[in-house]
Chains A and B, each alone.
Chain A
């Protein structure tokens, strides 16, 4: 059996890549993909722990996280379409109507 640590380290790496993507990218859709990466890295953590504990709770949580991530994707895409409608760009650095 593959030790749980390996899964945890992989998911930590994926999560960190996701965070880096959110922090450095400018394109809204790319940011969005990075967020999905973060969420799926968390799913991997849950699955690894659920396997280690032989528990079903972690698996159930993953189901809900998947469904919620899909709903989040739908809302996010809609918001970006709306933004594109105004600006003809989804570069998040351009969203600067409001400052301090």
Chain B
């Protein structure tokens, strides 16, 4: 590392210094100033976002600038995702505001942990070596374990944290073992070196084993089916804004790193792993969507729906073509904003901890808050992938990529399962519009309105006029997409 490397790492350095200061603020006498915690966090995120944008001008000159001995890369892909993460965390900060005010927990530490999680995600998505990817992943995971159990006086929250921690720690152990075997076969931890080494090595058992373990660890982080068991429990037990964090930012981070590792390092291994991942993808879509139908708890329903969405995102990774990579980028963005909108609406209904968690709580929302009920319908349609919304664009790219790569059956299954998913999304719509609601109040506060309105604008605007997003995704994924295209695949 030299002084030059500092420039590349500037966004991460700023966010980690800021998060440390947020941690120190309450112990130097600012504990009671809770409003300033929110504003400090938002200002910090603003500065970080500006630095990332500043870095993006740098990247226009060079397609991929690397530092820290090639372990850390700044490319369009990383910057695209970093901006998604920062925006998502800013929205989660807004969502957390009222939720935290009602409880007696320390706000400063909460935002500090969110900041560290963001730092981990940003570092991870730039990782070009399995070392830096692992460190970023763990920083994100450790912060999420604590955040899931942040409401420590609530038994459910603690139980969620315990389940998440035990399963997460085991999965990261498995991921590590996979990394160590890949290192043993390829003799390097750098993604590009691994890619180069794999093009000359004949597939062997240790490598197969290593890739499977690595894939299992990553599938756990993105909650794909056989590794999804933690999802419903953790989503239900965690504080609602943290559930929003886990189902959006954390999930998008898992998509991004999955894509980076498989597109840059394991493309030559495609013949062997694509069928396994296709099965995982199919299982996630089927099980996630079918299990979601039976849920009465909205948080659990969204947890199963997020399992299904992991299945859709895997389509883009399996197909291993530039269309698929663009699909992953577009889909992550679309999914994050539709989901954040839904969580904002769920939090509007929340009264005294448990309201807004049951499907019944949505009854009669169309009369109590017509505009937000309409917004909710748009978000649900977007998750379902119905045309006027942005969700359609995301799914279109993923399905097209799958068909192009010869996974027609998977694309057909995905379309079918999208139809199934509309069934339980419409259950909420029916509850909102056709049922008589109990006369319960809704807490529509300004921060929640801001988040829901922003998500609504993004979801509708990108659905009607998607060209800028598609162009940006094409631009951002160019370097990595080109890498994947250079090497001829055995699977074609």
A and B associate: yes
Q: Residues on A close to B: CB < 8 A?
A: 8, 15, 18-19, 22, 28, 31-32, 35, 38-39, 41-42, 45-46, 48-49, 53, 55, 57-58, 60-61, 64-65, 68, 71-72, 75-76, 78-80, 82-83, 85-87, 92, 95, 97-98, 100
For B169, give its contact among A35, A83, A86 (CB under 8 Å).
A35
Min distance, Cβ B349 to any Cβ of chain A, angstroms = 20
In this complex, which of A53, A78, A95 has the most chain B Cβ atoms within 10 angstroms of its Cβ?
A95
A97 and B237 contacting across the interface, CB-CB below 8 Å: yes
Chain B residues with CB below 8 A from A79, complex form:
145-146, 149, 158, 161-162, 165
Given contacts A45-B180, A45-B181, A82-B161, whether A98 and B131 have CB atoms under 8 Å apart is: no
- Known contacts A28-B162, A82-B149; 13 further A-B pairs (Cβ under 8 A): A22-B170, A35-B166, A38-B177, A41-B177, A42-B179, A45-B177, A49-B180, A57-B188, A61-B183, A72-B142, A95-B159, A97-B155, A100-B232
Residues on A with beta carbons closer than 8 Å to the beta carbon of B158: 79, 82-83, 85-86
Q: How many A-B residue pairs have CB under 8 A?
A: 113
* A82 and B177 contacting across the interface, CB-CB below 8 Å: no
Chain A min CB distance to B24 (Å): 19
| B184 is an interface residue with CB less than 8 A from chain A | yes
Minimal Cβ-Cβ distance residue in B for A58:
B183
User: What residues of chain B have their CB less than 8 Å away from a CB belonging to chain A?
Assistant: 130-131, 134-135, 138, 142, 145-146, 149, 152, 155-156, 158-163, 165-166, 169-170, 172-174, 176-177, 179-181, 183-184, 187-189, 232-233, 236-237
Tell me how far the C-beta of B229 lies from the nearest C-beta in chain A, rounded to whole angstroms.
10
Q: Do B184 and A49 touch across chains, with their CB atoms under 8 A apart?
A: yes
Closest to A18 in B: B173
B142 engages A64 (CB within 8 Å) = no
Q: In the assembled complex, which residues on chain B have CB atoms less than 8 Å from the CB atom of A97?
A: 155-156, 159, 237
Contact flag A75-B146 (CB < 8 Å), given A39-B173, A86-B155, A95-B163? yes
Complex partner residue of A49 from B156, B162, B183, CB under 8 angstroms: B183
CA A64 – CA B236 in complex, angstroms? 32
B176 (CB) vs chain A CBs: closest residue: A42
Residues of chain A contacted by B174 (CB below 8 angstroms): 38
| Contact call A35/B170, Cβ cutoff below 8 A | yes
Query: Smallest Cβ distance from B175 to chain A, in angstroms?
Result: 9
Decide: A83 near B162, CB < 8 A? Known: A35-B170, A53-B187. Answer: yes
Task: Give the docked Cα–Cα distance between A18 and B176 (Å).
Answer: 14
Please name the residue on chain B nearest to A38 by beta carbon: B173
Query: Given A61-B189, A82-B152 in contact, is the A45-B166 Cβ separation under 8 Å?
Result: no
B183, A60: Cβ atoms closer than 8 Å: no
Q: A97 CA to B179 CA in the complex, in Å?
A: 35
Residues of A within 8 A of B188 (CB): 57
Is A98 a contact partner of B162 (Cβ separation < 8 A)? no
Interchain nearest-CB distance for A37 vs B (Å): 9
Complex Cα gap A8–B185 (Å): 12
A74-B142 Cα distance, complex, nearest whole Å: 10
Given contacts A83-B158, A95-B159, A98-B237, contact A76 B184 (CB under 8 A): no
B132: nearest chain-A partner, CB-CB = A64
- On chain A, the residues within 8 Å of B187 by CB distance are 49, 53, 55
A47→B278 CA distance, assembly (Å)? 34
Contact yes or no, B170 A83, CB < 8 A? no
Please judge, given known A-B contacts A45-B181, A55-B187, whether A98 and B232 are in contact too, CB under 8 Å.
yes
User: Known: A38-B177, A75-B142, A76-B169. Is A83-B159 also a contact (CB below 8 A)?
Assistant: yes
Closest to A80 in B: B162
Once the chains are docked, how many angstroms separate the CA of A31 from the CA of B180? 22
Among residues of B, the one whose C-beta sits closest to the C-beta of A95 is B159
**Can you list the 4 inter-chain pairs with the closest CB atoms, starting with the nearest?**
A38-B173, A45-B180, A49-B184, A42-B176
Judging by beta carbons under 8 Å apart, are A64 and B131 in contact? yes
A98 with B134, Cβ < 8 A, contacts A35-B169, A42-B173, A79-B161 known:
no
Interface centre among B145, B170, B173, B177, by most A CB within 10 Å?
A: B173
9 chain-A/chain-B pairs, Cβ below 8 angstroms: A22-B166, A32-B166, A49-B180, A72-B169, A75-B145, A75-B146, A76-B165, A82-B161, A83-B158
Chain A residues with CB below 8 A from B179, complex form: 42, 61
B285 to chain A, nearest CB (A): 19
Q: Are A92 and B142 in contact (CB under 8 A)?
A: no
Residues of A within 8 A of B146 (CB): 75, 78-79
The distance in angstroms between the C-alpha atoms of A1 and B486, with both chains bound, is: 41
Contacts of A68 in B (CB 8 A): 134-135, 138, 142
Give Cα A48–Cα B177 distance, bound, in whole angstroms: 13
Give the nearest-CB partner of B134 in chain A: A64
Q: How far is the CB of A38 from chain B (nearest CB, A)?
A: 4
- Bound: A62/B350 CA distance, A: 46
Set of chain A residues within 8 Å of B138, measured between Cβ atoms = 68, 71-72
Residues of B within 8 A of A58 (CB): 183
Least CB separation from B167: chain A residue: A22
In the bound assembly, the distance between CA atoms of A85 and B159 in angstroms comes to 11
A52 CB, min distance to chain B CBs, angstroms = 8
Once A39-B173, A42-B177 are accepted as A-B contacts, the answer to whether A61 and B162 lie under 8 Å apart by CB is no
Q: State in angstroms the CA–CA spacing of A67 and B37 once bound together.
A: 30
Measured between beta carbons, the chain B residues less than 8 angstroms from A87 are 155
If A42-B176, A98-B232 touch, does A75 touch B165 (CB 8 Å cutoff)? Answer: yes
Known: A35-B169, A58-B183, A95-B163. A65 touches B176 (CB 8 A): yes
